[in-house]
Chain A
Amino acid sequence: DARVTQTPRHKVTEMGQEVTMRCQPILGHNTVFWYRQTMMQGLELLAYFRNRAPLDDSGMPKDRFSAEMPDATLATLKIQPSEPRDSAVYFCASGLVLSGGGPDTQYFGPGTRLTVL
Chain B
Amino acid sequence: DAKTTQPNSMESNEEEPVHLPCNHSTISGTDYIHWYRQLPSQGPEYVIHGLTSNVNNRMASLAIAEDRKSSTLILHRATLRDAAVYYCILPAGRRALTFGSGTRLQVQP
Contacts and interface: CB of A to CB of B under 8 A. Distances in A.
Grouping DSSP codes into helix (H, G, I), strand (E, B) and loop, the B interface class, with mixed when no group exceeds half, is: loop
Contact of B34 (A103, A107, A111): A103
Contacts of A105: 46, 49
Interface string B45-62: 110010000000000000
Given A56-B94, A102-B32, A107 B99 contact: no
B17 interface: no
Interface stretch (A40-48, A60-68, A77-85): A40-48
Given A31-B95, A42-B100, A111 B43 contact: yes
B95 A104 contact: yes
Interface string B22-44: 00000000001010100000111
B44 A103 contact: no
Contacts of A44: 99
B2 to A, nearest CB: 13
Counting contact residues on chain B (CB < 8 A from A), the size range is 10 to 19
Given A42-B101, A110-B42, A103 B91 contact: yes
5 contacts: A42-B100, A43-B97, A45-B96, A91-B43, A107-B46
Interface of B: 32, 34, 36, 42-46, 49, 91, 94-101
Interface of A: 4, 31, 33, 35, 42-45, 48, 55-56, 91, 93, 95, 97, 102-111
